[in-house]
Structure 1
Amino acid sequence: MSLALPPSGSEQPRGTLSPAAQADRLLPALGVGGPPVAEPPALKQTITPGALLAALRRRWQTALGVALVLGAGFAAAVWVLRPDKYTSVALLQVSSAELKVIQEGSRSNDGGIYMRTQLALIKSRPVLQDAVSSAEVRSLRLVAAQSDPVEWLEKQLVVEQVPSTELVRVSMSSRGSGDDLRPIVHAVVRSYMSKSIEVEVDEKFKHLELLKTIALNYQIEIDKQRSSLKSAMTLNVGATSSDPKIVAYLQSNLMEQHSDAKRRERAIESQKQELQLKIDAARARLERPAPKEAGAPNDRVDPLLERELDLDPRIAAADKKVSDLRERIQEFELRAAPTTTARGMFQQPLAEAEKAAAAIRAERRKELVARNQKLVGENLKQLVADCEAERNALEQRLRDCQDYANGLNAQITNLGIDAIEVENKRNRIARAEQFLGMIWEQKERLTLEIQGDKTTKSIARKRVREVAPAEKGEILNKFGRHIEAAGGGVFGVLFGLLTISVLDHRRNRIHSPADVSKGLRLRVIGALPKLSGAQSASLARSLAESVDALRTTLLHLHSAPQGTVLMVASSGAGEGKTTLATALAASLARARCRTLIVDCDLRAPSLHRLFGVAQTPGVCEVLSRTARVEAVIRPTAAECLDVLAAGEMSEAAAAGLASPGAVQRLIEELRGRYDFIVIDSSPLMLVPDAMMVAGCVDGLLYSVRPGISRVAEVHAGYERLREHRMPFLGVVVNGVPQSHAYAPGYGRSIVPVATVVETGQPL
């Protein structure tokens, strides 16, 4: 509810101004009641570094305390939640030597590609799948806790090359405990070594086959050249042996035949070695122990064997019987709720049928496995027999070839071939066979390497070998946990400082007179220093002189003997309006002005406690017409200062407060008795009482308190006054630092330090 101001032509006591005229005289430039003004800058909140630093300076003690608590909390949380990091490491050596078709004893130029290939192979899915398939690794706590162990291991495993070396570092880290790390890293290295051996062996056999193909093609080409030479050297063999030409021809022909015999001898020897390799491989497979019984743990399921089991009539009949019993149980349960006895009647036959089906399947699996093993053994034995027969035939051919070569050699000796001519022929043949010999040498070297180790493991060890096996997980960085905890503490401190700064900035409170004058564009007509619990003489002097400066402005406006009514209001509670009203009334009294302070904060009165008088009777009793004005006014210890307490709030008093006439009559009656009447009102934004009184006063002072008053509420209170054309005089900032008060520390005090206000905090 709002009260309209009295019309400008109404009867006013002599020497006073109407409320509207008094407001226009004091602040003609405020534009009260005019068109709406632009939104003040203080209402437009923008978070900037400067604003956050300003908020931090204002709340540095609180911010520092919160920051230290958060820093300690974050550090403790990081210390507890981030235990020591354990790491298990294994070292491998991967040689960069390349396997060429013809080895030249030099390093290959693709070592980097080979190294990158091995790094990718270690973390490949087949290697990791093979590593986690063992029972030892599956039973570990780290692996058992993962839904997809292979994907988890692919993320956790670190494989890197030691710079400028052929060493590969395989490591894995975890927090809390390092007992599970060594078995995992060891399993990965073991699986990789097995895979790399298979790759290296395959590469060796591919090289061997390639050498065979090249040697065969080149031998065919040499045979063609020899045939062409023989055709060109064909002479009449009927000539006498004394003819030098015939002798030379016979010598050349015998030497060519001897060379061909030796070549066939080497070819037969090579074929014999290959057959011996096949025989050794087949016998090695026959000598292997029989595989474990099917169905045991860690057994790999053979799809073909399982398919054959599923097609077996006996197994199919047993499975159908189990399926029929299960369908009968389901039908029975659907028809009626079975009892324990009824359910047991079906469960026992079902269990017996399932047990019989499992027994049939197990028996049949054993039979199939035994059959397969027998077939494999028979095939291997047949292969060995065939290879041995072929080897015996090759041995016979080798003996025949050797006999033929020895016979040719004897004929050459009998012919008395000249040694120099023979050497020349041999040199020409050696040059023709030079390249072919290089190929045969490389082929025989690879054959001997494979034959030297039947398990083929030594081949792979030449390029990949384990330098240092995985050890138990250790803490590599002993100060890592401390550094992380310190980082968490620093983050907590920064977070605490930032949080307090942002919260203080978001509250958007008034902190200085500049926030009112520049931020809200309201005129500041006074500032009172902040009161503390123990008031010093300098603080009392600063307070008195600040209030006296405000009093001087008001005395300048008062030019008649009739009373001037001033109202002190605030937007909310605790913003110093009672302190301002009391200090202002005391200052006017010191100026020998008859002053009355009225407590119109009827819902939360406090002046009676400050002045040590009774609360009743007071304003409420006057408004409810149960007491007269002169009966409720009480003198104070200060000269020229009286007080009118609030009284006891009642329905009659509330009705009188809502009536403009009752409040107006009370104020007009008090005007004739005093020079100044200071009214301590209720907060504007909490209850409507202040607006009911404001329409009857000559001027209104707006009290704000730094750190308490919110910008939005102060502006809303001012807008409410402006909309109702209330006589707004200006803002008094109550509680600024002493350095910002009026004339701090200048000269000596000329006023008594005693004050009416004895509390240390604004009301």
Structure 2
Amino acid sequence: MLPQDAGFPEPRKDQPPSRGNPKPIAGRIDPTNRGRGDVPYPVLAPLALSSGPDVSNYLQALRRRWVSAAAIGGTLAVLAALAAWFLLPPKYIAMGCVRVAYEVPTIDRTPGGRGDFSTYLKTQAAHLTSRRVISEALKKDEVKALHLEERTNKEPAQYIEDELKVEFQDNQELVKVLMSSPDPQVSLAIVKAVIDSYLDIIVYAEKEERRRRVADMNAVLSKASAALKQKQDTLDSLVRNSGDVDPAVLAIRIGDLQSAIRDANVRRSDLRLKIREAKADLISHIAHMKSLKESAVSTPSVEAALKNDPIAQKLKAEIAAEQAIIDDFEHKTPGVAYPSLLAAKRRVRTAQANLKKRKQEIQEELAAIAETSGTGGREEMERLRVAKENTIKAMEEHHDELGKNLVALNEELAKLKRVDHAEQDRLRESIQQEKQFVDDLALRLRKEEVDLEAGTRVTPAQDAELQKKDMKKQLLGVIAAPLVTLLGTCLCIAWLDVRQRRIRSAGEVSRGLGIRVVGAVPAVPNLEQHLVGPTGEPDLEGHPALESIDALRTQLLRDANDTHTRVVMVTSATHGEGKTTVACHLAGSLARAGRKTLLLDGDLRRPSAHQLFELSMHPGFSEVLLNEVELTDAVQATTLDGLWFMAAGQWDREVLHALARDGVEGIFEKLQEEFDFIIIDSHPVLAATDSLLIGQRVDAVILSVLREVSQMPRVYAASQRLTTLGIRVLGAVVNGADPEEALAATAHARMVAH
């Protein structure tokens, strides 16, 4: 933004004799009324822009737009209901049942094992819906013929997992398998395939597993029988070989060997304990040597040595000095890499490396001193370590020798046991146990073979059959879809209405944006066409709209007496906000009040005021700016007494350049010599800079605001642009206001004027 009058020439010093005291023009109000330094700069955004919308704003927006919300929402709700009806067709449910027996069946009808029936029931239900069973079902021809992927646009296994249901109760044996689908054939085929696949790969597979278990038991029985026969043969051999040996002598010898073996084992155990203790002592000795070395080179010891080391202290001083230079550079000239700064950083790195190297040297010196200290010195501790290692080695060799002797004693004992009658007794006892095991295994095997013929615990109970149609989802969709659609449409319309932040009343301009409201014109269709009636006078005599314009005129006349306001620009934030209508009616009202008034069409890019008076657009203000015509030749008379009109003329880029030159100011000075008031209909503020250039050469500006069209952020932005350039904003006129609000504004304006 340019400051006030930046780049524009000062007013002419040589005023014409006929003008007397200079009048305020070009936005340069008399210094007693406004100074250049008094340009307002708002610190915070106005309340209407800084605060977000609340629930009441949305409710008010919905109340304003209830007709469109009802029409659009009702239409979309009907379409949503129809879509839900056709997109959520009723589903056909197929059901099949399997029976899970409470007890394991037996061939002799005696009660079998029950186990945890609830856990078994839940396990079978999980098998029915498992991916393994579903994948097997998809391989069946009747399921392949359904082309599920084309029908559902889903992966077939995932589709079945989503739609397949399994129902059961803990105290009942029946498990229900249900499948819902819009096509009854799909439901029937999938339920039948799932039950068949479950029976094939789970139930019948369990029976095959029992058959394999029986076969395994047969194999184990054969091996046990063979081992029993081998032990019997061994016993027979021992009996035959022990016929010539005295059992008493054999028993004594065996006892001596067993006693020697026990003694050898005890000595080996004691020796192993001593070896472990010696190794632990060696580890403790080595750790002690290491701790002496580490304590000597600890961090406090090294730091203390560094403080007493002149080389280290010199390096630290050098680092501190260079770092001070670096900090000074970075504080005074941050971000600049001077050669001196880079050299100082290199010297710091070199000194730090030397200090680190010196620290390592001191650590090595301290370690060497520590190694020579301690009890007996390093040589004595090292000699003691070697002695301990030799002792451990000798004990380990003795341990190995005891092991070899123990092996020899065991071999001799084994030879004697071949003719040991006690060994024969133990062998007979083992044979008896083996025989009992073989008999029990044979009995169990026979029972398993018999129960295998009794059937399975799970059996089919009911083939897949169709149940009644499921229309709950369809009916729910038909009810919920319209309600959600209607609610969403209403919220969307309310949000769009609130998001636009349009001005709804004059109070939103004054209280919400902090802009003074100088007038409120009630809504009149085609108000601009009622400017001149058939008699040459306005045909809205006595109408509230004309009363509102006259009240605005009254305020302007009073302001003219107080601040010499004679050149007034009427503008708006954007196009289509009623600025031309306000400017034309205000100029006509001043003319009716006996003031010689000129209406100047300053909307050079999109002129339209000449059409209201049915006058020519050429020549006009553009030609006067370019010095192509005389000022008097561009002024045209209208059918209203006391009102003259200057059209916009032909606009081009040269006209825009001419707006910044001294000629504009001179034009206004000459016009003020001829007219009491000059009303300028300018280009919108936010659309181009024309209004800002003209606005710096007028006495005041009136902002035109159109209810339900103008947006608060844009109106506020336009006001800020004007005030930032030091242009005086007289206030805002709200077009299309509520009749009661317009009446109140008119009464207030008349009260203020008087």
Q: CA deviation at 1:573?
A: 0.8
**Contact residue 27 and residue 696 of structure 2 kept, 8 A:** no
Query: Aligned letter for 1:692?
Result: L
- Residue aligning to 1:61: 67
SS in 2 for 1:158: strand
Hey, what does 1:89 align to over in structure 2? 95
Task: Check conservation: 2:519, 2:746, Cα contact below 8 A.
Answer: no
- Equivalents in 2 of 1:543, 1:56: separation in Å? 29
What is the correspondence of 1:674-713 to structure 2 with a 5 Å cutoff? 674-713=675-714
The one of 178, 188, 191 equivalent to 2:184 is 178
For residues 606 and 646 of structure 2, the distance between their equivalents in structure 1, rounded to whole angstroms, comes to: 15
Residue 519 of structure 2 contacts residue 745 of structure 2 at CA under 8 Å; is this kept in 1? no
Give the Cα separation in 1 of the matches to 2:734 and 2:32. Answer: 22
Q: Distance in 2 between matches of 1:665 and 1:596?
A: 16
Mark the CA change 1:62 to 1:152 in structure 2 (over 3 Å): closer, same or farther.
closer
Residue 551 of structure 2 contacts residue 746 of structure 2 at CA under 8 Å; is this kept in 1? Answer: no
Normalised by the length of structure 1, the TM-score is 0.57
- Contact 1:597–1:642 (CA under 8 A) maintained in structure 2: yes
Q: Secondary structure at the match of 2:490?
A: helix
Deviations 1:352-388 (A, max 9, x none): xxxxxxxxxxxxxxxxxxxxxxxxxxxxxxxxxxxxx
Shift of 1:25: 7.6
**1:583 paired residue among 564, 582, 585:** 585
After superposition, residues 371-390 of structure 1 pair within 5 angstroms as none
Question: For 2:647 and 2:492, how far apart are their aligned partners in 1?
Answer: 45
**Superposition map of 1:244-255 within 5 A:** none
User: How much does 1:679 deviate?
Assistant: 0.8
Judged with a 3 Å threshold, the aligned counterparts in structure 2 of structure 1 residues 651 and 49 are, in CA distance, closer, same or farther, namely: closer
Query: For residues 134-184 of structure 1, what are the alpha-carbon distances to aligned partners after superposition, in whole Å with 9 as ceiling and x for unaligned?
Result: 222233211687896545533432112258754322111234x23222111
- 1:5-59, CA deviations, whole angstroms, 9 ceiling, x for partnerless residues? 8569985754844565648888x79985244532334444635433333433343
Aligned equivalents of 1:519, 1:29: Cα separation in 2: 27
Contact 1:623 1:652 (C-alpha < 8 Å) held by counterparts: no
Secondary structure (helix, strand or coil) at the match of 1:61 reads helix
Q: Secondary structure at the match of 1:475?
A: strand
The residue type paired with residue 196 of structure 2 is R
Aligned to 1:436: none
Cα distance per residue 1:624-674 (max 9 Å; x no partner): 334333333333333332222223335665554342x22222212221222
Gap regions ≥5 residues in structure 1: 211-441, 747-763
| Residues 158-167 or 717-726, more deviating | 158-167
Q: Work out the CA distance in 2 between the residues paired with 1:547 and 1:169.
A: 84
3-state SS in 2 of match to 1:180: helix
CA–CA separation in structure 2 for the residues paired with 1:43 and 1:500: 21
Q: Where do residues 301-312 of structure 1 align in structure 2 (5 Å cutoff)?
A: none
Partner of residue 124, structure 2? 118
Counterpart in the other structure of 1:288? none
- Structure 2 vs 1, CA of residues 676 and 588 (structure 1 numbering), >3 Å: closer, same or farther? same
Match of 2:729 in 1: 728
8 Å CA contact 1:597–1:679 kept in 2: the answer is yes
Of 489, 495, 500, which aligns to 2:488?
495
Superposed counterparts of 1:420-439, under 5 Å: none
The Cα shift of 1:699 comes to 0.9
Give the C-alpha shift of residue 567 in structure 1.
0.7
Instruction: Give 1:742 deviation, angstroms.
Output: 2.5
The alignment partner of 1:501 has SS state of helix
Note the 1:512-661 alignment, pairs <5 A: 512-532=505-525, 541-559=543-561, 564-649=566-651, 653-659=655-661, 661=662
Aligned position for 1:156: 163
Question: Could you say which residue in structure 1 is the equivalent of 2:270?
Answer: none
What is the RMSD computed on CA atoms of the aligned residues?
4.5
The secondary structure found in structure 2 opposite 1:597 is: strand
Conservation of the 8 A alpha-carbon contact between 1:13 and 1:562:
no
Matched, 1:192 2:198: yes
Corresponding letter in the other structure for 1:520: L
Query: Counterpart of 1:519 in structure 2: which amino acid?
Result: G
* Cα distance in 2, alignment partners of residues 518 and 730 from structure 1: 13
TM-aligned CA deviation for residue 568 of structure 1: 0.5
**Cα distance in 2, alignment partners of residues 115 and 651 from structure 1:** 90
Matches within 5 A, 1:343-354: none
CA distance in 2, matches of 1:9, 1:55: 56
Shift of 1:597: 1.4
- Name the SS of the counterpart of 2:680 in structure 1: strand
Pair 735,143 (structure 1): closer, same or farther in 2 beyond 3 Å: closer
In structure 1, distance between residues paired with 2:32 and 2:211: 111
Partner of 2:146: 140
Distance in 1 separating the partners of 2:517 and 2:710: 15
Alignment map for 1:375-414 (pairs within 5 Å)? none
List per-residue Cα deviations over 1:71-107 (Å, max 9, x = no partner): 3444444444433333222233434347799999799
Residue 740 of structure 1 deviates from its aligned partner by 1.8
* 2:310 corresponds to: none
Note the C-alpha offset of 1:610: 0.8
Q: Does structure 2 retain, via aligned residues, the 8 Å contact 1:5–1:19? A: no
Contact 2:591–2:643 (8 Å) recurs in 1:
yes
Question: 577-586 vs 646-655, which deviates more?
Answer: 646-655
Secondary structure in 1 matching 2:554: helix
- Taking the aligned partners of 2:744 and 2:646, their CA distance within structure 1 comes to 32
The answer on whether the counterparts of 2:134 and 2:157 sit within 8 Å (CA) in structure 1 is yes
Structure 2: distance between partners of 1:73 and 1:23: 67
Does the 8 A contact of 2:99 with 2:460 survive in 1?
Answer: yes
Tell me, in whole angstroms, the C-alpha distance in 2 between the residues paired with 1:655 and 1:143.
71
The answer to whether the 8 Å contact 1:738/1:744 transfers is no
AA at the equivalent of 1:124 = S
Match of 1:256 in 2: none
Q: 1:692-748: CA deviations, max 9, x gaps?
A: 2212211111112233323333233222222221122122222222232124999xx
TM-superposed CA distance for 1:575, in Å, is: 1.3
Q: Is the 8 A contact 1:179 1:473 kept in 2?
A: no
Measure the CA separation in 2 of the matches of 1:656 and 1:150: 79
C-alpha distance in 1 between matches for 2:208 and 2:541: 97
One-letter amino acid matched to 1:136: E
Amino acid in the other structure paired with 1:491: V
Match of 1:470 in 2: 464
- TM-score normalised by length of structure 2: 0.58
Residue 740 of structure 2 aligns to a residue whose secondary structure is helix
Segments of 5+ residues of structure 2 without an aligned counterpart are: 218-443, 531-538, 748-754
Which residue of the other structure, out of 499, 512, 530, is the alignment partner of 1:506? 499
Contact 1:568 1:681 in 2 (8 A): yes
C-alpha distance in structure 2 between counterparts of 1:622 and 1:495, whole Å: 57
SS of equivalent to 1:605: coil
Q: Matches of 1:106 and 1:723 in 2, distance apart?
A: 98
Q: 1:189: Cα distance to partner?
A: 1.5
Report if the CA contact (8 A) 1:684-1:717 is conserved. yes
CA distance in 2, matches of 1:692, 1:665: 14
Residues 499, 576 of structure 1: alpha-carbon distance in 2 compared, 3 angstrom cutoff: same
Amino acid at match of 2:669: E
Q: How many angstroms apart in 1 are the aligned matches of 2:562 and 2:213?
A: 123
**Kept after mapping to 1: 8 A contact 2:602/2:680:** yes
